[in-house]
Structure 1
Amino acid sequence: MSATVTSVARRFGQLPRGLLGRPSRGAAVVWVPLAAVICGLFSGALASRAAWETSRPQPDRAEAATILTTVFPGHDLDEIDTPPALFVVYGHALRLNTVKTLLLGDGGEYQESATGAAAFGAPPVPAEQIVAVARERLTGAGWRVYDPQVSDGISCADKTCATPQAITDTTLIARRGDTILNASVSSQTAVDATYLAVEVHRAPPPAVVPAGVLGTLLGAVAGWLVFGWASRRTEGRRSHGAVNVLFGVATVLWWLPVPLVAPSLLHHHLGEPHPAWHPFWEWLGQPAASLLFVVGAVSALLALGLAALPRRDRSPVTLAS
């Protein structure tokens, strides 16, 4: 009887550690913390995306027309395009029929929308003058104007490019309140090309950062508890190896885009002005790498399903003395 009681006590004594998410021995010591961290990051990205819904709608035609008339007087920017949603895929609102687009390599096209307008043909005045006037008017209207970014290029006057022409493209960025202006001014002179393109859009609302931080913390804790529970529940069972492999695959697929995307995105941020940081999920390679995320999620769900199967003890505990 004493041996039976001791065995039962040992079993119940292991429950708190499992419930607290402490991983079992072996490979789980590595993949459980990694899975918990990446789950926290995914949760934070999802929470920040939800917080984006507190943003004001993108500027309508009236607001955009006021800005364009003030900043770029004398330019034909009357044709103003307004977006159908706050975030779009190839200019269209996200729908069920666009999920295929996200999963099959074009997830990077999921971006914040903008209200825009463009002017075509040869610039009526030199491009440098357009930029100088715009900077002066933006500053006078209370905008914070960032240093223009100038790049050189080549333009062709005909299809054979018999007379290539050197051109400059200047990017002008400014912010006022929660509104950001991006303008591209080109010195090209082709009749059917764009010499001025302007977009105005909203900056991330204040709720995005705290939502992302809170979501990350809660997601990491939940991941630690769930994955730690799964690793300890399968300890000593035949399914333990399969669970480790499935969770390992999920962890690798979830983490794979991060070291590839995050450094290049940081370099991009440091290399040019940014009134607002790119959305949280882009730093995780999402949804550009959404197919990897989905396959990893399926692997994790299979592993959790195996862990949730009833335990079959080889030597059941009896309460008989």
Structure 2
Amino acid sequence: MPDTARADRPGHPPLGRLLRPVRGAAVGWVALAAVIGGLCTGALASRAAWETSPPQPDRAEAAAILTEVFPGHDLGDIDTPPALFVVYGHALRLGTVKTLLFGDGGEYQESATTAAALGAPPVPAEQIVSTARERLTATGWRVYDPQVTDGMSCADKTCATPLPVTNTTLLARRGDTVLNAWISSQTAPDASYLSVDLNRAPPPAVLPAGVLGTLVGALAGWVAFGWVSRRTEGRRRRGLVHGLLGVAVVLWWLPVLLAAPSLLTHHRGEPHPVWHPYWEWLGQPAASLLFLVGAVCALLATALAAAARRAAAPSTADPGGL
């Protein structure tokens, strides 16, 4: 009973009221902040779940696959990556953080074990594609429809005689392994007519981790930003706090609005054995600088909200004071 009476006294609103935003426009920006907070948390959780993935295929595994699918082609020089995710082919480290923040964050991507065959194709490119599809199907791979594009090649350095070239992309998946092959009809001795990437599909933990992280993050965002909205109600710093949170919401949502439609069009336009990682749909880490600036604004707004509550606490000695 004493606790109930205390909660009903002025200055001590119920807990549920403290955790929801004030009425009006604040409800909208709190909801937007909660949703984008949930999406970002889900993306981080899915990235953490990627750590349960086995390493990319080693040379022995890659050699067995390449020999099985592309017999008679010199793909013996196999390159294995240094990590599961790389930036410009290198493992992420402190020195590459600047690369992520200042324009090249899109280069952060899953690595692959690679191999290539140089020179003119020993048989027509169409035959290489046909043989590969037959062998992939026979050995349990799910094969996607090849994507064919036309281009031009040069017979010499001056490109005085342009030559038409056909490029074919072949995608397949078996278990947790994805094969991506490019077959070209080019005949230049220093260019590759066959390139192959082998990498891992997302491990099973990625999807539930992303979903759970999104739900937990959205709930936490609603509680946190609702708290800020309620704490600044009627305070002098309310406009500044809401302005900072508005900037944060814009900086967090802008990359999503730009990246998600583009990726959706990309996915619908060509086959994908696996979807692009969660964070790429949010425009991350390509727009990581915007995210970081938004996070600083949100933290500053939260600190100002907490300070405003203390400064605005009524004084028993001076009822008219702040």
Question: How high is the TM-score relative to the length of structure 1?
Answer: 0.94
Cα shift readout 1:206-258 (whole Å, capped 9, x = no counterpart): 11111000000000000000000011101111111110000000000000011
Do residues 131 (structure 1) and 123 (structure 2) align?
no
Cα shift readout 1:166-185 (whole Å, capped 9, x = no counterpart): 10000000000000000000
SS in 2 for 1:117: strand
C-alpha displacement of 1:82: 0.3
- The 4+ residue runs of structure 1 with deviation greater than 6 A are 5-8
CA distance in 1, matches of 2:155, 2:22: 69
CA distance in 2, matches of 1:214, 1:287: 21
- Given that 1:7 and 1:317 are in contact with CA atoms closer than 8 Å, whether structure 2 keeps it comes out as no
Cα shift readout 1:77-113 (whole Å, capped 9, x = no counterpart): 0100000000000000000100000000100000000
CA distance in 2, matches of 1:6, 1:195: 78
The worse-fitting range, judged by mean Cα deviation, of 227-236 and 7-16 is 7-16
Match in the other structure for 1:225: 223
SS in 2 for 1:13: coil
Match in the other structure for 1:313: 312
Alignment of 1:31-50 (within 5 A): 31-50=29-48
Letter of the structure 1 residue corresponding to residue 215 of structure 2: L
Do residues 86 (structure 1) and 84 (structure 2) align?
yes
Cα shift readout 1:250-272 (whole Å, capped 9, x = no counterpart): 00000001111101101111111
The gaps in structure 1 that reach 5 residues or longer are: none
Match in the other structure for 2:13: 13
Alignment of 1:16-27 (within 5 A): 16-18=16-18, 21-27=19-25
CA distance in 1, matches of 2:70, 2:314: 82
C-alpha displacement of 1:25: 3.5
When residues 15 and 128 of structure 1 are mapped into structure 2, their CA distance, relative to the original with a 3 A threshold, is: same
Cα shift readout 1:263-302 (whole Å, capped 9, x = no counterpart): 1101111111111110000000000000100010010010
> Which residue of 262, 273, 276 corresponds with 1:275?
273
SS in 2 for 1:256: helix
- Given that 2:89 and 2:111 are in contact with CA atoms closer than 8 Å, whether structure 1 keeps it comes out as yes
Alignment of 1:77-226 (within 5 A): 77-226=75-224
- Given that 1:121 and 1:192 are in contact with CA atoms closer than 8 Å, whether structure 2 keeps it comes out as yes
- Given that 1:122 and 1:190 are in contact with CA atoms closer than 8 Å, whether structure 2 keeps it comes out as yes
SS in 2 for 1:192: coil
Letter of the structure 2 residue corresponding to residue 313 of structure 1: A
The gaps in structure 2 that reach 5 residues or longer are: none
Do residues 294 (structure 1) and 277 (structure 2) align?
no
CA distance in 1, matches of 2:266, 2:47: 22
Q: Give the total of aligned pairs.
A: 314
Cα shift readout 1:133-187 (whole Å, capped 9, x = no counterpart): 1011111111111110000001111122111111000000000000000000000
Tell me the percent identity: 74
Match in the other structure for 1:251: 249
Cα shift readout 1:17-60 (whole Å, capped 9, x = no counterpart): 11xx2112343222110000000000000000011111111100
- Given that 2:6 and 2:12 are in contact with CA atoms closer than 8 Å, whether structure 1 keeps it comes out as no
C-alpha displacement of 1:6: 9.8
- Given that 1:27 and 1:244 are in contact with CA atoms closer than 8 Å, whether structure 2 keeps it comes out as no
Letter of the structure 1 residue corresponding to residue 240 of structure 2: A
